[in-house]
Amino acid sequence: MVKIYLDPGHGGTDPGAQGNGLQEKNVTLAIALKVRDILNRDYEGHTIRMSRSSDATVSLPQRTNDANSWGADYFVSIHINAGGGTGYEDYIYNGSVSSQDISYRDIVHAEIMKQVDFRNRGKKRANFHVLRESNMPAVLTENGFIDNSTDAAKLKSDAYLNRIALGHANGIAKALGLSPGGGTTTYVVQPGDTLWGIAQAHNMTVQQLKDLNGLTDDIIYPGQVLIVSDPALYRTIQDGETF
């Protein structure tokens, strides 16, 4: 059983970066909970532990000590950037790392970039505590800039947070070799596909497909992973049922 440690950055008395009416701690928690739910819904062969699942204060040593004592196989720390830039970037430790650190991060980075239209700021390295003190491969993702109005508008959209979370979940699953679960609800766009054709094949409308994936236009591209069914949002009403 693969052990995945999800770490929503900041929390409690530490709000993290702030801007445009958002606090980093709230956005990171929302994304991490969605990553957890997608992994549990679409994949099997794993178990998940979170550094926090509510607005709690958790120190950096508490996070890495917890992951280390649990024996996690992968540490994923989710953050939102600030400082006047724009786009997505991720980090691994800038000291000695394993080949898994590099390969896992490369896969996660690629899968996230399939889902989001943030500017790609690249794959980086840094001496962050959670990367340095974790005993397992670890990555820290920076999902847009909270003080950039364009990035912040995306971070205020629940549908866009779904896209960010889906990229994380698919990247983690691919890196760790998780098996699809019985309720897999994603589709990889193939050359020549259209939104209409994908929607028809999965018994939904184009608008439902766009809403599920936070799409504001009809542009899709090969390799993009789309959510094609979500029981929490769309359910067939049976005879005799009422709202």
Strands 2-8 and 46-50: parallel
How far, in Å, CA of 212 to CA of 160, rounded? Answer: 9
Q: What contacts 125, CB < 8 A, 6 or more positions away?
A: 91, 92, 93, 94
CB-side neighbour CA atoms (13 Å) of 38: 27
175 within 8 A of 138, measured Cβ to Cβ? no
3-state SS assignment for residue 238: coil
How far, in Å, CA of 139 to CA of 209, rounded? Answer: 30
Which amino acid type is present at position 163?
A: R
How remote is the C-alpha of 29 from its chain's centroid?
11
The DSSP symbol for 20 reads T
Active centre residues (catalytic): 142
| Two tokens, residue 72 | 């996690």
